[in-house]
Amino acid sequence: MDHLTFMMGEFEAEFPVDRYYAKNHMWAEKMSEGYRFGFSAYAVRLLQDVYFLDWYFDAPAAVGFQQEIGSIESKKAESSLYAPLTGELTQFNPALMADPSQINVDMYGAGWLFELTESSDNKEPLLSASQYLEHLEKVWLVTQRTIKGQMNG
């Protein structure tokens, strides 16, 4: 699988070039109808060891761009999860409800989060792997300061 690599300090985060990416650090794989989403290697590296995942509603459900759809807890962080696109969230990965550790083990495969059929009125396009890498270069400095602040706080 061809991929691009982003260096997070001494750690590599790899991004398959056959996927699209959202600025909220999710990958998107084109399916026959819509997209399958999961966390990018960048997000998984920052979270480390995901152990709890909660969705705020059942699928299918209409969602808006940046609508809060769930939450995640890991060794390093608790975070809300937001819809990367406007559309219909058609299904959650049922295997992750019992064991979200697949996110850590196989983020671009069995660790997928949900499937979503995109609405025609999306305002935030998905990024190519190279566009996502450019986005990471812009946000990495802020991310590093945040991580150091948490470590020193």
Q: The domain spanning residue 91 has which CATH number?
A: 2.40.50.100
Whether the predicted pLDDT of 151 surpasses 90: no
CB 83 within 8 A of CB 126: no
Arithmetic mean of pLDDT, 135-145: 79
Question: DSSP secondary-structure letter at 47?
Answer: H
Q: Considering its fold, how many domains does the chain have in total? A: 1
Arithmetic mean of pLDDT, 61-84: 93
Arithmetic mean of pLDDT, 23-46: 94
**Cα gap 50→101, rounded to integer Å:** 6
Confidence (pLDDT) at 146: 62
Q: Is residue 151 part of a domain?
A: no
Q: Is residue 65 part of a domain?
A: yes
Q: Is residue 153 part of a domain?
A: no
Q: Is residue 28 part of a domain?
A: yes
27: left (phi over 0), alpha (psi -120 to 50) or beta: beta
Q: Is residue 152 part of a domain?
A: no
Q: Which domain holds residue 105?
A: 3-146
